Amino acid sequence: MTDPAQHSDPHPADAESEKTPDTPAAADTAAEIDAAMRASIGDSSSEPSAAPASASSADDGGSNLEDEIAAALAGVDLMALADEPAPPAGTRINLQDGRRTRTGTVVLIRDGDVMVEFGPKRQGVCPLSQFSEPPAIGSDQEFLVERLDAEGLFVLSVPGAVQKADWGSLEVGQTVEGRVTGVNKGGLEVEVSHHTGFMPAGQIDIRHIPDISVMLGEKISCRVTQLDKKRDRLVLSRRVVLEEERAANAEKILAELQPGQRRTVVVTSVQQYGAFADLGGVDGLIHVTELAHERVRDPGDVVKVGDTLDVVVTKIDTSGEQTKIGLSRKAVLSDPRSEIMNTLEAGATVAGTVRKIADFGAFLEISEGVEGLLHISEVSHRRIDRLDRELRVGEVVQVKILSIDADRGRISLSKKALEERPASEKGRGGRDDGASAARPEDPIMKKLRAKFSGDLKGGLG
């Protein structure tokens, strides 16, 4: 409690100015400051108890409080001390994009914050939301030191974690969350901490996005690549973040991946021979023959870039420099061919649409996704040299099912089986009424019969 007598002093300033550092009060104050400053810079060479003696023995005219502070801070960077105290001896310090990174021990988790200790006098706090799962108490973790708060605690973040942007502490290399607010010819406009940053089109994604306007209004994680606060210039990259995530996941996915596994993938590219799909860190190929059970002529008719599909891993080839992964989409789809083929019977008459004509025959679609082969020898009873003179693509013809091979998915068809055989060929298979037709006389036998058609005589003469 304040002494009332002090308020009655008409010249308190004069009285205060008459105090000198050799008084006990001044000596104690100087000693406390000296001890505090030495402790803040990790200087243990001098004991705090030595300060009073040093202060009492100092010359009254040349020793004051400022001298004590200056002596205590000799060789210390005041700006660095004010912004971030020097670390204790032995603390490992790395640099990541010009920012301090250090290892600390998790000591407490409370109210959404993780309390971290770097030493007996160095503590920090990191948001729990930056961890994929709560860290174990007592575990050592790597942290980025953002700043020193008013209470002397380090404000920390997890390296690579998305942080709530603060323009005052924003730095190159930080991963922050922004919202896409505009689109221009060169890229996106992204709002970060109430400032508009620019993201070039080539830095939006790992792969080309045909229409970047689909990103409007989206919240995205991005990396600060250029920053000039004086000119209010901010350049961002989402691609860098995606590449890091992809690289981190690739090794884990390859270690877990096995043939026969069912996976969810995203189509990243469509080619003539199939589609490439991302498994979350590595790409696999869905060959055109594995896109669907029916014949696929253009993979773009079946899948599009950005489609999410369920697939089955068919093969993993690690023999080359680059791992090759085969995927199958049709393996997770029900086969309509099998269901329809189970309803068909040999000997049945069906209508088929000519889909393709080859030298050896024509393929007819007899049901959706189910085709059969009409061999050239089964088109007509007469000899045919060119099938395209008999059939046209798109033409519907009546055919008879000769055989069904469900295991191989093959159906044999015949058109001539539904046509009446010419009269000249009926004898080869029998008359319609079951009577046998006379076989045409062989020309050689006919000549021999004509030659020896007269009376034959025996004897030698």
For 428-453, write each residue's pLDDT tens digit.
544 444 444 445 556 766 666 666 55
**Better pLDDT: 341 or 451:** 341
The rounded radius of gyration (Å) of the Cα atoms in the chain is 45
Q: What is the pLDDT of residue 34?
A: 54
Q: Count of residues for the chain?
A: 461
Instruction: Please say if the pLDDT value at position 182 is more than 70.
Output: yes
Tell me the average pLDDT across 334-354. 81
Residue with tokens 């869905």: 286
Instruction: Please say if the pLDDT value at position 49 is more than 50.
Output: no
Distance CA 332, CA 346 (A): 29
Tell me the average pLDDT across 40-58. 43
**Better pLDDT: 182 or 31:** 182
Domains and their CATH numbers in the chain: 4-76 (no CATH), 93-157 (2.40.50.140), 167-242 (2.40.50.140), 257-332 (2.40.50.140), 336-418 (2.40.50.140)
Residue with tokens 């995205």: 220
- Mean pLDDT is lowest, of 153-157, 283-287, 410-414, 416-420, for 153-157
Q: What is the mean pLDDT of the chain?
A: 75
Q: Among candidates 353, 306, 299, which has minimal Cα distance to 329?
A: 299
- Mean pLDDT is lowest, of 5-19, 151-165, 309-323, 390-404, for 5-19
- Max avg pLDDT among 117-121, 327-331, 380-384: 327-331
Q: What is the pLDDT of residue 91?
A: 43
**Better pLDDT: 274 or 100:** 274
- Indicate the pLDDT class of residue 164, thresholds 50, 70 and 90: low
Instruction: Please say if the pLDDT value at position 400 is more than 80.
Output: yes
**Better pLDDT: 44 or 245:** 245
What global pTM score does this model have?
0.43
According to DSSP, the residues that pair with 450 across neighbouring strands are none
Joined together, the tokens standing for residue 146 give 């953002």
- Mean pLDDT is lowest, of 157-161, 186-190, 331-335, for 157-161
